[in-house]
Amino acid sequence: MNLLSDKGFDETTVDEIAEVAGISRRTLFRYFPTKADIVTAWAQHMTDVLTTSVHQCPANFTPQDIIRSALEAVIPRIAATREETFSFVYLIERTPSLLPVSLRKYAQWEDSLAEALMLRLPASPDRKLAARVAARSGIAAFRTAVDEWIRLNGRRDLATLLRKVMRLQSETLS
């Protein structure tokens, strides 16, 4: 991920990735059939972090608390440093050929959030739809915070921006 974000996804060759990983090109392709699959594997790890966080939320958390807590849990796990985190997020969000990876990641996050919310919302005929609306709304807030973070060149804290966006979202829709 460091190589891809430093050099650019499209500019980085598979041979360079294999060299940095200390493996042959053939071995790399055994684990990752395409270069995008490397990023997909990283994104899947972020989905796993989000899912674990959702299931660890206390029973008294509101749907908004669950969404905020799970999304905030992902941020420090993206990379070791704030600079690397910004580079990785920028790579995935602003590389046109990685758009499918980004969209798939967000869809998985929505599914994970919706599933958890379904278990916690009061029984009603619209519970499943309400859970999906809340999950999608949470992902929209995260994406908006990421867009603002990128616009600010990573100069603000992403978690702080996320909380601000979620507050604005709640106030605007109330």
Q: How does pLDDT run across 84-134, given as a tens digit for each residue?
A: 999 999 999 999 999 999 999 999 999 999 998 998 899 999 999 999 999
Q: Does domain 36-173 have CATH number 1.10.357.10?
A: yes
The percentage of the chain sitting over the pLDDT mark of 70, rounded to a whole number, equals 100
pLDDT value for 174 = 82
* Predicted TM-score (pTM) above 0.85: yes
Q: Give the start-to-end residue ranges of the domains of the chain.
A: 36-173
What letter represents residue 149's amino acid?
W
Tell me if 102 sits within 8 A of 24, measured CB to CB: no
Q: In the structure, what pLDDT confidence band is assigned to residue 1 with cuts at 50, 70 and 90?
A: confident
DSSP result, the chain? -HHHHHH-TTT--HHHHHHHHTS-HHHHHHH-SSHHHHHHHHHHHHHHHHHHHHHHS-TT--HHHHHHHHHHHHGGGS-SSHHHHHHHHHHHHH-GGGHHHHHHHHHHHHHHHHHHHHHHSPP-TTHHHHHHHHHHHHHHHHHHHHHHHHHTTT-S-HHHHHHHHHHHHHHHH-
